């Protein structure tokens, strides 16, 4: 075996594999260069998802011809004036991107500094083929054609133009969110597909992700231990079936980090059903000494010195914002279009879907959809509506509207429909509350408060002693788990003891639950504890367990409530954090505004 030094051309091509994986990564590098060059506006043109052409034109400060030649050499950068790689604030600093791209494609570099003439250099797979003067506006334009045409090994891994285009647009979106002060446009196969003007961060995020974030998003802004978190997240009821709209920026640099996924999951725990995901664009500012950005050639990953501090900041910041949102929910305009509300009862099942949601291909939760049995028995009115139609009438009861409506956000109860929904009159419209969903959330929040108090030395959740202790038979490992958690459960008002190898003795249940199905509760808890393992902090475990317990204690759909009970529920919702959604992320209430009602009757 003989060892040899590789020729520099080969070294560059090997390095290119790390920096340029697909059109989107070349595009990302070029746009970052434009941003680093102080561009105010960046125009991207793509053909066939970037496989045929990736072009980026900017109005930045440009390069003189000598600088252009140098820019195409490996390890040549203008961005590290001294050797302090720790302090870089530019996107680039490795001096690799341009030569790497040029080694695996045909690249045309046009550039002009103000007050000078423009210049063009053409490179074909690493070889300079032509250069000379070129008439240009000030700034830089880079064209990359036939990426990987001559590198079959790489070409094999490229996907369809559609998929490559999706990756390209995602790359632009990330950078456009990071720099709302810069204008961006994208043209694909001759069609304008993205265009954003300079704006502030919230407007930019909404423009790129979802315009409705303006109304259904929560602003986040908090700081802790020298770290700062800003950004926007969606209300839990404004969720998606895919975790694709979640973006993290560290010191304005878009990064892909597992930490974001975990933090979002923790923050939205018990606010979202499994398989539903929030929208998030979060900006973390950390001192440069606390983060290493040079861990990945594409600079899309970072390493935090103290990841748990960052995670804590995100989870804490988001939970605070969500708590503040209180009973806010995605309500109102779901019913705005008359199609959603007609006088025919069988249309009831169409209610919850936003009008037009299906057509526009958007993916929102179906609001009135019932999920797994853990959320309780099926409500009345489910099943084939034609069979159930007759059930509706006898279950409805009403309160005569008399005095003027006091200014409660959720209004005063006027009646109950299908023994499941509370109908209330608010100053500005008609409110419908899902009593089961709402109550489940209230029980959870009550238990949380009580258990927080008990941590602070108070009495914990009140317990209700059983006249005759209940014996529940279970598997030995399940009993072991419950026995191990007996202390925590006692704080939540559930008093249990081991009763032989295969059974537990239940002496008291949490008072907020009322009478409950004790074996069902114990089984669910055992499963929950198995899921959680022992890794979680006590506080987190209590939270999880409270949610499981709360599911068992709700006013079931199908229970007739008195007007006083209904009003008490509404008032409690108004003052309870996170009461706008149940523990599975569905809204607990919806509102039909007066204007919407008028539309239904053709009055407007
Ligand atoms: N659009 C541009 N406008 C002005 N100068 C540019 C532009 N693109 C590249 N340059 C110059 O070319 C140099 C090399 O660019 P290249 O992208 O290869 O490396 P880098 O940005 O310094 O580091 P990295 O490899 O991390 O991106 C830059 O340092 C910069 O001086
Ligand atoms: Mg660069």
Q: How does pLDDT run across 390-444, given as a tens digit for each residue? A: 333 344 556 665 666 667 888 888 888 888 899 999 888 889 998 888 888 888 8
Segments of 481-573 assigned E as strands? 495-498, 503-510
Phi, psi of 196 (to 5 degrees): -135, 135
Sheet hosting strand 503-510, strand order edge to edge = 463-473, 503-510, 495-498
pLDDT of residue 78: 87
pLDDT of residue 363: 27
Q: Tell me how far apart the alpha carbons of residues 577 and 315 are, in angstroms, rounded to a whole number.
A: 16
What parts of the chain have a pLDDT lower than 50?
Answer: 331-395
- CB–CB of 155/149 below 8 Å? yes
C-alpha 28 to ligand 2 mean position (Å): 9
Q: Which residues is 227 bridged to in the sheet? A: 224
Distances (CA, A) of 136 to 39, 124, 581: 16, 21, 56
pLDDT of residue 533: 60
C-alpha 116 to ligand 2 mean position (Å): 23
Tokens 């991107």 identify what position? 97
Phi, psi of 30 (to 5 degrees): -70, -40
Phi, psi of 510 (to 5 degrees): -60, 130
User: Which pTM value belongs to this model?
Assistant: 0.65
For ligand 1, mutation pick of 15, 18, 75, 95 (most atoms within 8 Å of CB):
95
pLDDT of residue 354: 27
Q: Tell me how far apart the alpha carbons of residues 71 and 92 are, in angstroms, rounded to a whole number.
A: 12
C-alpha 41 to ligand 2 mean position (Å): 17
Query: How many angstroms separate the most distant Cα atoms in the chain?
Result: 97
Ligand 1: residues with CB < 6 A are: 29, 33-34, 37, 58, 60, 62-63, 71, 76-79, 92-98, 140
Q: Tell me how far apart the alpha carbons of residues 196 and 2 are, in angstroms, rounded to a whole number.
A: 56
For residue 464, give the nearest of 549, 577, 565 by alpha carbon: 549
Tokens 């706008």 identify what position? 580
Distances (CA, A) of 340 to 23, 334, 378, 410, 490: 43, 8, 23, 21, 47
pLDDT of residue 388: 35
C-alpha 80 to ligand 1 mean position (Å): 11
C-alpha 39 to ligand 2 mean position (Å): 14
Q: Tell me how far apart the alpha carbons of residues 74 and 282 are, in angstroms, rounded to a whole number.
A: 34
**Cα angle: 317, vertex 318, 321; to 5 degrees:** 90
pLDDT of residue 336: 35
Q: How many CB atoms lie within 10 A of CB 532?
A: 15
The alpha carbon of residue 505 and the mean position of all alpha carbons in its chain are separated, in whole angstroms, by 42
pLDDT of residue 398: 60
Q: Tell me how far apart the alpha carbons of residues 422 and 466 are, in angstroms, rounded to a whole number.
A: 32
Q: What's the chain's Rg over C-alpha atoms?
A: 30
Segments of 136-181 assigned E as strands? 139-145
Closest ligand to C-alpha of residue 98 is 1
Residue nearest (by alpha carbon) to ligand 1 atom 21? 92
Q: Tell me how far apart the alpha carbons of residues 499 and 171 are, in angstroms, rounded to a whole number.
A: 59
Q: Which residues is 470 bridged to in the sheet? A: 506
Q: Which residues is 142 bridged to in the sheet? A: 56, 109
């Amino acid at each position: 075996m003989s060892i040899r030094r590789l020729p520099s051309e080969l070294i560059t091509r090997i390095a290119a594999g790390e920096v340029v994986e697909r059109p989107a990564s070349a595009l990302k590098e070029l746009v970052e260069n434009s941003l680093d060059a102080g561009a105010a506006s960046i125009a991207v043109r793509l053909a066939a998802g970037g496989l045929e052409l990736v072009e980026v034109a900017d109005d930045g400060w440009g390069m003189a011809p000598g600088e252009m030649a140098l820019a195409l050499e490996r390890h040549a950068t203008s961005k590290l004036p001294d050797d302090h790689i720790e302090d870089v604030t530019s996107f680039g600093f490795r001096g690799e991107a341009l030569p790497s791209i040029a080694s695996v494609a045909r690249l045309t570099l046009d550039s002009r500094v103000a007050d000078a003439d423009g210049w063009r250099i053409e490179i074909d797979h690493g070889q300079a083929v032509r250069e000379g003067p070129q008439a240009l506006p000030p700034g830089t334009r880079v064209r990359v054609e036939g990426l990987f045409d001559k590198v079959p090994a790489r070409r094999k891994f490229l996907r369809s133009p559609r998929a490559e285009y999706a990756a390209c647009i995602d790359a632009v979106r990330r950078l456009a969110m990071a720099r709302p002060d810069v204008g961006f446009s994208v043209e694909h196969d001759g069609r304008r597909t993205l265009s954003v003007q300079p704006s502030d961060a919230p407007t930019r995020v909404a423009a790129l992700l979802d315009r409705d974030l303006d109304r259904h998003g929560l602003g986040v802004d908090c700081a802790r231990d020298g770290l700062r978190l800003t950004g926007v997240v969606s209300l839990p009821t404004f969720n998606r079936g895919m975790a694709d709209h979640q973006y993290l920026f560290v010191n304005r640099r878009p990064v892909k980090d597992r930490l974001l996924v975990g933090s979002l999951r923790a923050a939205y725990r018990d606010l979202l059903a499994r398989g539903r995901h929030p929208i998030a664009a979060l900006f973390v500012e950390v001192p440069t000494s606390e983060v290493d950005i040079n861990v990945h050639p594409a600079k899309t990953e970072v390493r935090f010195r103290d990841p748990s501090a960052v995670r804590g900041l995100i989870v804490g910041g988001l939970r605070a914002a969500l708590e503040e949102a209180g009973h806010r929910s995605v309500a109102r305009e779901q019913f705005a279009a008359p199609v959603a509300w007609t006088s025919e009862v069988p249309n009831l099942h169409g209610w919850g879907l936003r009008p037009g949601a299906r057509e526009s291909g958007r993916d929102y939760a179906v609001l009135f959809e019932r999920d797994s049995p853990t959320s309780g028995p099926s409500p009345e009115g489910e099943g084939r509506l034609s069979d159930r139609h007759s059930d509706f009438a006898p279950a409805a009861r009403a309160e005569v509207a008399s005095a003027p409506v006091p200014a409660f956000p959720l209004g005063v109860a006027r009646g109950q429909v299908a023994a499941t929904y509370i109908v209330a009159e608010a100053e500005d419209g008609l409110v419908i509350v899902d009593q089961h969903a709402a109550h489940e959330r209230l029980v959870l929040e009550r238990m949380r408060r009580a258990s927080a108090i008990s941590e602070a030395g108070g009495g914990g959740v009140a317990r209700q002693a059983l006249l005759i202790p209940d014996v529940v038979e279970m598997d030995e490992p399940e009993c072991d788990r419950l026995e191990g958690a007996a202390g925590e459960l006692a704080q939540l008002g559930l008093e249990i003891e081991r009763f032989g190898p295969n059974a537990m003795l239940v002496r008291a249940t949490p008072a907020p639950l009322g009478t409950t199905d004790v074996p069902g509760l114990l089984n669910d808890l055992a499963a929950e504890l198995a899921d959680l393992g022992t890794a979680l902090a006590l506080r987190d475990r209590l939270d999880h367990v409270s949610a499981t317990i709360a599911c068992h204690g709700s006013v079931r759909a199908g229970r007739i409530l008195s007007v006083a009970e209904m009003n008490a529920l509404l008032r409690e919702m108004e003052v309870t954090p996170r009461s706008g959604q149940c523990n599975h992320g569905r809204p607990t209430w919806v509102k039909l505004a007066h204007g919407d009602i008028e539309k239904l009757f053709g009055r407007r």
